[in-house]
Amino acid sequence: MAVAALPMLALLVSLPVAAQGVPEGAQLFSQRCASCHTVGQGDRVGPDLMGVLTRREESWVTTFLKSPGAMIDSGDPVVSGLLKKFNGVRMPDQQLSDDERKGLFAFFRDCADKGSCQPGATGPKLASDASPEEIELGRQLFEGRVALANGGPACIGCHNVRDIGVVGGGTLARDLTFSFARLGERKMTPALKEMAFPLMKELYGKAPLVDAEQYALKAYLAQVSRDGTPPRKDRDFFYLGFVGLGVALGFIGIVLGGRGRAKD
């Protein structure tokens, strides 16, 4: 009888262990991963992670999480394929501890067992939770169609993004099409709040973005990154068209001028 009870005792002891780390993993996913990934809701900036521990060996996922950059540079064929599929956006190194990684894995397994997963919101509102109205406000703030509350300049003066239009935005600073994919929620939020880059500090030091503007811009940049289309190239043809027109008009002027002199 005692021997027969041993398997049941082992099962009862193992159940809490199996569930251990799931809440921590869910919270970590919400804070560090949800801006680029889902678990069961489809691809975003990066792949849907539902069943990732079934598709890949746990050792492979562990190695990747320790340093995505190193694995990308190693030429791993799976990573190379994902990089191509997701527009060359490199996942930044997350520097997860072993306990954090184990918590994430517990969360992934729990989601796979349930068949779906939607971790509860924790902390500040994520860009992925933005409404269409908030995203549109971010677009209008970026383009300068809605003025910033404290009088700061619109982003379009220095930056470009994929969907602004043929003429595009400024080229004084970096193209921001995939800025959210590069920085993620964890770095984008303080970047918009602190404006730590020298030029931005000078421009917004006395005209900081209010909280609603920070969130709307973050939501818009997340949407632009999520769309997955590389930055527009057609504005290059737009400017080349002007150059070509100028050359053509100049050539016509030379020809007509030559004919005029010939008649004289």
Query: pLDDT per residue over 69-103, tens digit each?
Result: 899 999 999 999 998 888 788 888 888 899 999 99
What is the domain partition of the chain in residue ranges? 15-114, 127-234
Query: Could you tell me which of 180, 158, 191 has the C-alpha nearest to residue 224?
Result: 180
Helix ranges restricted to H, 20-157? 22-28, 52-55, 58-66, 68-73, 77-85, 98-114, 132-143
* Architecture of the domain whose range is 127-234: Orthogonal Bundle (1.10)
Band of residue 247 on the pLDDT scale cut at 50, 70, 90: very low
- The whole-model pTM stands at 0.54
**96: nearest Cα among 25, 46, 40:** 25
The band of 169, judged by pLDDT with boundaries at 50, 70 and 90, is low
Tokens of 101: 């990684």
Q: Quote the DSSP letter at residue 177.
A: T
Judge whether 127 and 222 are in contact, CB under 8 Å: yes
What pLDDT is stored for residue 199 in this prediction? 85
Q: For residues 152 and 228, give the distance between their C-alpha atoms in angstroms, rounded to a whole number.
A: 29
| Options 3.30.750.24, 3.40.50.620, 3.30.2350.10, 1.10.760.10; CATH of 15-114 | 1.10.760.10
- Please tell me the predicted confidence (pLDDT) of residue 183: 86
Domains 15-114 and 127-234 belong to one CATH topology: yes
